Amino acid sequence: MSLDRPARVHVVGNLCFDTTLVVPHFPRPGETSVAFESRVGLGGKGLNQAVASARAGADVLFYAAVGVDDVEKVLIVLSRDPRVMPMLTGLAFPTDSSTILVQQDGENAIVSAIACAQAFDPLQDGFADHLQAGDIVLLQGNLTAATTRACLAAAKARSAMTVLNPSPLFPVEDIGWDCVDLLVLNRSELATLSSRTDVEDGAKAMLKRRVGNLVVTLGGQGARAWWSGGAIAVEAPCVEVCDTSGAGDVFCGVLVAALLRGLDLPEALPQAVAAASRSVTRSGALASCPTEAELAVLARSPIGKQAS
């Protein structure tokens, strides 16, 4: 089937208002902690991944729901990344929000309110009509399992590649694994889904579910990937960690953009690792995403490298 237009990335997910608090440590039950710093901005896993993919060179359609009173405000912010085409639905709920706690060592903990994402059904708003063969569809875990499953099936029916990053992790037993071309997990998500603590054992268990390809991010240890042709491990460069918020989203967005350009998984993985490693040296989630110019440099000479 010939393409009517160049292939695009379709990110289906959430958008939220982020409040980030930098704290000495995560509070214990009953403890009140005083933050060193606070920041408020736009974020959400869906938006973070859409922006990262666009800055890495992809034309992106971003599907999300926001509170109807916030649509114009959100559109103004999104106009700063012109390669992201917002496909927003206004709903009678407060726009989703997240509170992000960041320790001084860069580790984070996040609590989100996702009423808009849980009520959002992009298929009712014509999501499938925008798809064609050669496109890539990227979803996370903020939508309901039923909606996620339906979007994946619609993408496969139109010969688009499907990428699932089920974070935050929801019960995915009902996901049609045959509709997932590439599954992206972090170490803890892999352990939960596979009931295996060893990464290699967990990967084998997931691949038995007929997931086409698997990527596992390992933080400062880089990432590993498994596909029909083999496996690869990519080391992360040694960097000074400031804030890990959003690093996984940068990874996913850059990975998908590289795949859209025609790179195979072993070629795309070092670029994603390099971009995520750059992001953790900065504060914020969306704010830490490397610029278009930085990602162009990393694409030519990624600092992630294949492990021996």
249 is in an annotated binding site: yes
288 is in an annotated binding site: yes
Kindly calculate the radius of gyration of the chain based on its CA atoms and give it in whole angstroms. Answer: 18
121 is in an annotated binding site: no
43 is in an annotated binding site: no
Residue 249 annotated to the active site: yes
126 is in an annotated binding site: no
Catalytic residue of the set 81, 96, 181, 249: 249
CB 127 within 8 A of CB 148: no
28 is in an annotated binding site: no
213 is in an annotated binding site: no
291, burial (CB in 10 Å: exposed 0-12, middle 13-18, buried 19+): exposed
CA 292 to the chain's CA centroid: 17
16 is in an annotated binding site: yes
Q: Which residues, at least 6 apart from 143, have a Cβ–Cβ distance to it below 8 Å?
A: 12, 13, 14, 117, 118, 120, 151
For residues 200 and 187, what is the distance between their CA atoms, to the nearest angstrom? 11
Residue 113 three-state SS: strand
CA 48 to the chain's CA centroid: 7
219 is in an annotated binding site: yes
188 is in an annotated binding site: no
97, β-bridge pairs:
17, 113
- The residues that are catalytic are 249
Residue ranges at the known binding site: 16-18, 44-48, 186, 217-222, 243, 245, 248-249, 279, 282, 284, 288
Output the known binding site for substrate: 16-18, 44-48, 249
Binding site members for ATP? 186, 217-222, 248-249
Q: Which parts are annotated binding residues for K(+)?
A: 243, 245, 279, 282, 284, 288
